[in-house]
Structure 1
Amino acid sequence: MIQAVLFDLDGTLADTAADLGAALNRLLAEEGKPPVAYELIRPVASHGARGLIELGFGIHKTDPIFDDYRRRFLDHYEASFADLTTLFDGVNPLLQALTARGLKWGIVTNKPMRFTDRLVPALPWAVPPGVVVSGDTVGVPKPDPKPMLHAASQLGVVPKTCLYLGDAERDVEAARAAGMRAIIASYGYISNTDTPHTWGADGFIDHPEELLQHV
């Protein structure tokens, strides 16, 4: 019996790719490099700063300049993290339906608190989340299960009664390790090179409201 639904943020509840891409392209412009098209940015957005810097500059996180680029990217993103970000169509009707069924809901994201503490309150939720766990809330991010377990504890439910919706392999890994069911948001930031059918999820949805079929 599902008592709570937990969600990833980027690519699952909120469409943040445009603001992330804008930050990357401002950094690229500073370095005299051409911008990256949105169509290339969107599938990588769930991988955050690391994935976007690798995309824009063609370098690995072990490159000596990587940390400087990451710091500057985050500074650019911090200046405009909510300019273009919106909730995906269907998210608010889903949250209202979950609440009507007596279910709790929350967010477990790898996004740092410096962003989630301001972005989440700025979004137009029909029902506010019962808990928000960021990538640095408990000291380790997904795929470690600790953020998932912390969210369940804060909501007052046991992990096995939770369902998690995300759009990345680490989301499924974290949910599984925490003893939760895992559903993949196929509408999210999934690239052509990803293989979501090998991630071991319990199901897939193409629209947020389809999640109601799984609770």
Structure 2
Amino acid sequence: MIRAVLFDLDGTLADTAADLGAALNRLLAEEGRPPVGYERIRPVASHGARGLIHLGFGIDKQDPEFEDYRRRFLDHYEASFADLTTLFDGINSLLQALEQRGLKWGIVTNKPMRFTDRLVPALPWAVAPAAVVSGDTTGVPKPDPKPMLHAAELLGVPASACLYLGDAERDVEAARAAGMKAIIASYGYISDTDTPETWGADGFIDRPEELLDHL
């Protein structure tokens, strides 16, 4: 029996792509490069700084310029991380339904505490999360299961009694490794080249409220 629900943040609970994209485009402007359109930013927003820098500059973390771009990108994002970010439609009604069923909920994100600790309190939750675990809380991010297990411990619920909702392959991998049920948010930041049907999830939802069917 599911006793708690854990969520990814970017692309699952909150639509953060516009703020992430704005930070990337400010960095590109500094470098004299043209901006990237939102339609190209949204599918890679879940991959954070690494994915967005690759999108904007075509480089990976092995490139000697990567760390400088990453640092500056994060500085731009820090200046406006909540200007355009909103909760996805249906999230608050889902959280209220979870509360009515006596289920706890929490967040497990790869977003650094530097942002999570300020963004989460700034969002208009109908029900506050009972646990928040960031990408650097346990020293390792997803797909390592440690953040998932830590969240379950904070909630006081066995990992096997938790369901995790996310929009990336690493979300499913982490949930599986922690012994949790894994559901994919198809409304999230999934690109045309992703193959979520091969990720091994227990199901898919097109709208947040559909998660109730899996509890």
Instruction: Give TM-score, length-normalised by structure 1.
Output: 1.00
Q: Which residue of 2 aligns with 1:88?
A: 88
d(CA) in 2 for partners of 1:116, 1:85: 13
Deviation at 1:9, TM superposition (A): 0.1
Trace 1:153-192 onto structure 2 (pairs within 5 A). Answer: 153-192=153-192
The correspondence of residues 1-215 of structure 1 with structure 2, limited to 5 A, is: 1-215=1-215
Letter in 1 for 2:209: E
- Which aligned segments of 4 or more residues in structure 1 are displaced greater than 2 angstroms? none
Q: Quick one: distance in 2 between partners of 1:119 and 1:82?
A: 6
In the alignment, structure 2 segments of 5+ residues that lack a partner are: none
Separation of aligned partners in 2, 1:59 and 1:125: 37
TM-superposition CA deviations, 1:131-153 (whole Å, max 9, x none): 00000001000000000000000
Report the secondary structure of 1:189's partner residue: coil
Q: Measure the CA separation in 2 of the matches of 1:40 and 1:58.
A: 13
2: CA distance, partners of 1:17 / 1:34: 18
Structure 1 residue 61: deviation in Å?
1.3
- The amino acid of 2:199's aligned partner reads W
SS in structure 2 opposite 1:78? helix
Mapped partners of 2:161, 2:199: distance in 1? 21
Aligned-residue identity in percent: 87
1:81-123 per-residue CA deviation (whole Å, 9 max, x = no partner) reads 0000000000000000001000000000000000000000000
How many aligned residue pairs are there? 215
1:162 counterpart letter in structure 2: C
Shift of 1:59: 1.0
Structure 2: which amino acid aligns with 1:207? R
Question: Gaps (5+ residues) in structure 1?
Answer: none
How far did residue 71 of structure 1 move? 0.2
SS at match of 2:183: strand
What is the distance in 1 between the residues matched to 2:32 and 2:73?
A: 15
Residue identity opposite 1:139 in structure 2: G
Q: Could you list the per-position Cα deviations for residues 2-50 of structure 1 after superposition, in whole angstroms to 9, with x for gaps in the alignment? A: 0000000000000000000000000000000000000000000000000
Q: Tell me how far 1:194 sits from its aligned partner.
A: 0.3
Q: SS of the residue aligned with 1:11?
A: coil
Question: How big is the shift at 1:60?
Answer: 1.5
Q: Given the two structures, how large is their TM-score scaled by the length of structure 2?
A: 1.00
Which amino acid counterpart does residue 85 of structure 2 have in structure 1? T
Q: Aligned partners of 1:99, 1:160: CA distance in 2, in Å?
A: 20
- SS in structure 2 of the partner of residue 105 of structure 1: strand
Pairwise CA RMSD: 0.3
